[in-house]
A and B are shown apart, each in its own frame.
Chain A
């Protein structure tokens, strides 16, 4: 088979972004081998980051399936997750129980936020992505004032000087940093594989898969696939979209807590601003579109995107000593992939 035909066959089957990113990743891995880098450590790091970001990417699935498109307003869920994380510290909890309580507390908070968000999205059908983006931006900046004014008292979290207002980054060491990562961790060529976090991600993937197979899940997919047909067969489309948005926001909150425990810090203020874009890019790299997404897309997309980011940094730094090139790759790849997906949605006419 000639290369052009093979290329066409591959891009048709897996989608253009997935093939391109896989190629880039392969090149970086070859580079890493040639530079005699510690590839095992890279793989372990990649696994940490995959488990860390997985649930945030998974949050894209219900919103895409229910027909509200890419959830650029995921920052709403991220904020409620951060809030729950702060409350857990304020209540002076530690270890695994602190993390699990934070997850439990984040669920009602995210559900309320998701309900409000879903209500708005049902009023702006067709423009969910534009409105969602700026809704997310607005709430992040409103919450920036909120972080300063909320009556948290724990000295670990508030500014040492002044005695009011939460810090920009709150260290979780001694609280619940790495509780999932270190759970059942397996030694791997001198590094550790974060078994607990991977299992946690897998559990949520399984739950999502079961949900999509359930009666509600099927109704939601029908409402997203063809709203008019779904409405004609007696499905309440607005309700299904609402369910999708609420689940997406709840997963955003949980995903943020998983991210924070792995990262070791809670990042407040402007930090959640651009996080939805990375999650969106990952699911798109996996082969999803603005109208179709599966668990397989989430898993493969997260693996490819996070591995690319992890491997590219040391390889490029060894090749030429230029600052934050990995950051540039992240910006170009994630936005490039989103742009590509937008051109594929087709025009409104």
Chain B
């Protein structure tokens, strides 16, 4: 059963003054994190221009991934922890252009093109698995992510040099089998970011990356208004009723998760394009967790996520990421505390959100049982 956790956001009927309280209550999570961010930024004593500059870079490289989480939430499939699989598909494209050695924007486009069929296939398979575990999508997608990580290692540690012969000592391990741990992507770095690029008051703005994000926002908005989007929403409201109403629920769920996976693949390519190195065996590991934490900090829940949530959440989460090691250093004399703290925030916010959702669901079921 998919109950709305979010309270209806109609403005409170009372007199003026109530609206302020209402806004506070409706946006409690982001506001709390805003306070935390401001506190940590002040404590870190970092120059504000540095923080903003870092933040713009991080927004441009992470937003695409975070927004790719929204469609499965609308379709009632919860948070797509299998985002990792999409990221892997993206990396398949990146590894291909590394092998072919296509640099610059052409390489970037080629990576996108090459990764898409893989992403569609992976998304489809993920969807098939999630259709078998309805009501347990989140734990399944989580384990699926871990499983895929093992499969990824098997393919790229064993497959390269045995099944797929690559004669490039720069990327293959000494024994001739398996990819190296880190691949250099200097030939691709900033191919999107620096295509159109200017500075405003010392802050660099990668215009094309933000245009890509804007297009994705528009696409997400657009798809919700189509017939498919309506079907996503009715699945999100109540899967059982949607099925009775004659909507092919399994197929719609497959489409939702496939879209999310393809977007995640492209998002990962944008991410690596900015970073400039691919850690072959762990670049993708934490993509799902960090993206989900960012989305939730923006005020999203397991059953409700909007583009605003994604943007606000990414900004807050990454501010915390930038300042917390330094804040930990200033406050406790140990930068590691800050690092552990931000990991804790990521896990904690996801845990808390899942907990509240499950609790609400359980109470709702109990209330219904009592009414009967």
In-complex Cβ contact of A129 among B139, B154, B239, B359 (8 A):
B139
Within 8 A of A (CB), among B112-147: 129, 132-136, 138-140, 142-144, 146-147
When the two chains form their complex, are residues B347 and A347 in contact, meaning their CB atoms are under 8 A apart? no
Query: Is the beta-carbon distance between B178 and A322 smaller than 8 angstroms?
Result: yes
Residue pair B140, A339 in contact (C-beta under 8 Å): yes
* B143 close to A328 (CB less than 8 A): no
Asked if A348 contacts B134 (CB within 8 A), the reply is: yes
In the bound complex, how far is the Cα of B134 from the Cα of A320, in angstroms? Answer: 41
- Min C-beta distance of A294 to chain B, whole Å: 23
How many A residues have CB within 8 A of the partner chain?
45
Given contacts A123-B359, A126-B361, A130-B358, whether A138 and B351 have CB atoms under 8 Å apart is yes
| A343:B133 contact, CB within 8 angstroms | yes
A68 CB to closest chain B CB (Å) equals 12
Q: Is the CB of A328 within 8 A of B150?
A: yes
In chain A, positions 133-181 with a C-beta closer than 8 Å to chain B are 133-135, 137-138, 140-142, 144-145, 148-149, 165
Task: Please tell me if the beta carbons of B351 and A134 are within 8 angstroms of each other in the complex.
Answer: yes
Given contacts A332-B150, A349-B135, contact A134 B344 (CB under 8 A): no
Select B153's contact among A141, A321, A328, beta carbons within 8 Å: A328
Tell me which residues across on chain A come within 8 A of B143, comparing CB atoms.
335, 338-339, 342
**Once the chains bind, are A323 and B157 in contact (CB under 8 Å)?**
yes
* Binary interface encoding of chain B residues 163-200 relative to chain A, with 1 for a CB under 8 A from any of its CBs, else 0: 00000000000010110000000000000000000000
A141 — which chain B residues lie within 8 A by C-beta?
340, 343-344, 346-348
CA distance A339 to B139 in the complex (A): 9
Is there an interface contact between A322 and B355, defined as CB atoms closer than 8 Å? no
Q: Does A124 contact B (CB under 8 A)?
A: yes
Let me know if A331 is at the binding interface, CB within 8 A. yes
**With A339-B147, A342-B139: A322-B340 Cβ-Cβ less than 8 Å:** no
Contact of B144 among A123, A325, A339 (CB under 8 A): A339
Q: How many Å from the CB of B68 to the closest CB on chain A? A: 21
Question: Which listed residue (A131, A323, A330) contacts B354, Cβ 8 A?
Answer: A131
Q: Is B45 an interface residue (CB 8 A)?
A: no
Q: Are A348 and B347 in contact (CB under 8 A)?
A: no
Q: Contact: B347 with A124, CB < 8 Å?
A: no
Q: Is A90 an interface residue (CB 8 A)?
A: no
A347 to B351, CA, bound (A): 22
Instruction: Give the chain B neighbours of A145 by CB distance below 8 A.
Output: 337, 340-341, 344
Q: Does B336 contact A (CB under 8 A)?
A: yes
When distances are taken between beta carbons in the complex, the residues of chain A under 8 Å from B344 are: 138, 141-142, 144-145
A286 vs chain B, min Cβ distance (A):
18
Alpha-carbon distance between A146 and B1 when the two chains are bound, in angstroms: 38
Contact B157 A328 (CB under 8 A): yes
From residue A203, how far is it (CB to closest CB) to chain B in Å? 32
Does B46 reach chain A (CB closer than 8 Å)?
no
Interface string of A268-287 (1 = CB under 8 A from B): 00000000010000000000
A127-B347 in contact given A144-B340, A332-B154, A342-B143 (Cβ < 8 Å): no
- Other-chain contact of B147, A123, A135, A335, A348 (Cβ < 8 Å): A335
The 6 A-B residue pairs with the shortest CB-CB distance in the complex, in nearest-first order = A348-B135, A331-B150, A127-B358, A134-B351, A124-B358, A347-B134
Can you list 17 A-B contacts with CB-CB less than 8 angstroms, sorted by A residue number? Answer: A126-B362, A126-B365, A127-B362, A138-B344, A148-B334, A148-B337, A165-B334, A320-B177, A322-B177, A328-B154, A328-B157, A332-B150, A342-B133, A343-B132, A347-B132, A347-B134, A349-B239
Beyond the given A142-B344, A331-B147, A345-B136, please list 20 additional residue pairs across the A-B interface where CB-CB is below 8 A. Answer: A123-B358, A124-B355, A124-B361, A126-B361, A134-B350, A135-B351, A137-B347, A137-B350, A138-B352, A145-B340, A145-B341, A148-B336, A148-B337, A277-B146, A322-B177, A331-B149, A338-B143, A342-B136, A347-B136, A348-B136
Interface residues of B, Cβ cutoff 8 Å to A: 1, 129, 132-136, 138-140, 142-144, 146-147, 149-151, 153-154, 157-158, 175, 177-178, 239-240, 332, 334, 336-337, 340-341, 343-344, 346-348, 350-352, 354-355, 357-359, 361-362, 365
